[in-house]
Amino acid sequence: MSNSKLVNYTRISPNSTNPRKDKIRKITIHHMAGNLSVETCGNVFAPSSRQASSNYGIGSDGRVGIYVEEKNRSWCSSSASNDNQAITIEVANNGGAPNWTVSDIALRKLIDLCVDICKRNGIPSLNYTGNTNGNLTMHKWFAATNCPGPYLESKFPYIASEVNKRLTGGGSSTSDNLYRVQVGAYSKKANANKMEAKLKSNGFDTYMLTANGLYKVQTGAFSQKSNAENQAKKLKYLGFDTYITTNSGAPVTSTPTKSIDILAREVIRGDWGNGQERKDRLTSAGYDYGEVQKVVNKLM
């Protein structure tokens, strides 16, 4: 039995039954009831006093954490019978009560992960029946909880149908097969912010990603290449340099809220790791690594 290659972060929780006592034939999708990174979720499941875990977690940035190996049973859905048969997945919320929304990139990664789980474990399809007869299940059927929340719950039929399309049709990964119109890639976040503001003032929706230490400003993600080309044409007419890419990256989702001073103290305390890890984590949290490091050097 293997684990998913989509995993970006590993922190094995002591809260599991090893090995699981049944064959893997179900998937149970949960929500975190909070916007937890995969690292924070790992922290939550780390103490044995917590008595809870999941096999996987997905952050709002689309990164995947593993906390209980697939061969073992997570303590997740308040049902031993379900969890012995299920791979359990916690998904971060980018919005709170009452809807508990999740980011589009997390939803796409969730579908990728479900496809991967089904393929590796010989699950021929995901059947959402609205009750425990199917093999796509939810926590609220086993306990007095509103998990997975109204938003994710409403997506269950869509998730099952997308997964099944890919299991039968062999379609490619949803998150990697979008055509994105990129308008700039910058080493300094301030320059990316400027470009975003300029695009917004021209009426374009924008989002920022980070990859290889660069802040990339993109204005659309299209499943049809021709739609991306139309968008690029409009932008070129307005004087923007564009190119179309299928490369994604980690989205800069959170609005940075901490002052550089506080961040620098956290960095010194070791909260952000070292070297490239520190750089990547600060960048994908939306901070300017260079600016933070300058203050760190001053304080040290």
Distance CA 45, CA 49 (A): 9
**Beta strands of 187-240 (E only): which ranges?**
207-211, 214-222
Contact 87, 29 (CB under 8 A): no
Q: Minimal distance in Å, beta carbon 147 to Zn ion? A: 3
> Judged by CB, which is closer to Zn ion: 52, or 260?
52
Distance CA 234, CA 220 (A): 12
Q: Minimal distance in Å, beta carbon 68 to Zn ion? A: 14
Residues in the chain: 300
> Judged by CB, which is closer to Zn ion: 147, or 264?
147
Q: DSSP state, 140?
A: G
Contact 53, 75 (CB under 8 A): yes
Backbone φ, ψ for residue 177 (5° rounding):
-110, 30
Q: Minimal distance in Å, beta carbon 29 to Zn ion? A: 9
Q: Minimal distance in Å, beta carbon 185 to Zn ion? A: 38
Q: Minimal distance in Å, beta carbon 107 to Zn ion? A: 17
Q: What angle do CA 83, 89, 94 make, to 5 degrees?
A: 145
> Judged by CB, which is closer to Zn ion: 88, or 283?
88
Distance CA 22, CA 285 (A): 39
Distance CA 22, CA 236 (A): 57
Residue with tokens 């049944």: 22
Q: Minimal distance in Å, beta carbon 238 to Zn ion? A: 46
Best CA proximity match to 95, nearest among 33, 175, 154 = 33
> Judged by CB, which is closer to Zn ion: 30, or 108?
30
Q: Minimal distance in Å, beta carbon 13 to Zn ion? A: 15
Q: Residues near 135 by Cβ (< 8 Å), separated by ≥ 6?
A: 25, 26, 27, 123, 126, 127
> Judged by CB, which is closer to Zn ion: 93, or 218?
93
> Judged by CB, which is closer to Zn ion: 30, or 180?
30
- Which residues are near Zn ion by CB under 5 A? 30, 139, 147
> Judged by CB, which is closer to Zn ion: 30, or 216?
30
